Amino acid sequence: MPSPEPSATSPPAVAALVSLVALAVGLTLPDVDLRLGLGHRSALTHSLLPALLLLAWRQRAAACGIAAGIAVHLAADCFPRRMTGYATVKLPLFGALPPLESYAWLALNAAAALLLAAWWARRLHAPAARALVGLAALAAALRYLWHDPGGWPVLALAGGVAFAVVRGKRRSLFRHPPDREEH
Ligand SMILES: [Zn+2]
């Protein structure tokens, strides 16, 4: 019986599906701290840690999706009405971080989770699957951000960054025409 791919890892479609499901879980995963009695905005769940644990267990497709979901969640958590009390990050043993440190914690972990997700998406998924997963991830992220009070500033920020990137790309395209030199 011919096997379609001599691969030791899960088939691409399964990996893509796992990443997508993990993304959906990752979007709300940080707030399980409420149910676990960890204190809200626990640093254990509002961080890269869940994704790192999955990587340690070699669940890379899941880690990729969880990291993407957590990145979106933490980005929205960066914009509470006020960074006090409930909104601040709680470190185990240490307690609540001050507002500035809470902002830094959430922003840095969001950025790191996004980078980790992008890096693993490139390594795990073929371009076509990556595009599909990316689109689905974008739709899920937009839906989450749309409904979260802190999501609107994130949407505005992401829109600004996307605009700058597209403009920069277009400019560099025009700067290097393939068949003639410019002065
Ligand atoms: Zn949260």
User: How many whole angstroms from 28 Cα to the centroid of ligand 1?
Assistant: 7
Length of the chain counted residue by residue: 183
Write out pLDDT tens, residues 31-62.
999 999 888 899 999 999 999 999 999 999 99
Q: What's the rounded Cα separation, in Å, for the pair 76 and 158? A: 11
Write out pLDDT tens, residues 99-152.
999 999 999 999 999 999 999 999 998 888 888 888 888 888 888 888 887 888
pTM for the model? 0.82
Helix (H) or strand (E) holding 132, with range, is: helix 127-147
Residue 86 has pLDDT above 60, yes or no: yes
pLDDT of residue 137: 83
pLDDT of residue 3: 46
Q: Which two tokens stand for residue 50?
A: 């869940």
Are 62 and 18 in contact by the 8 Å Cβ rule? The answer is yes
User: How many whole angstroms from 181 Cα to the centroid of ligand 1?
Assistant: 52
User: How many whole angstroms from 112 Cα to the centroid of ligand 1?
Assistant: 16
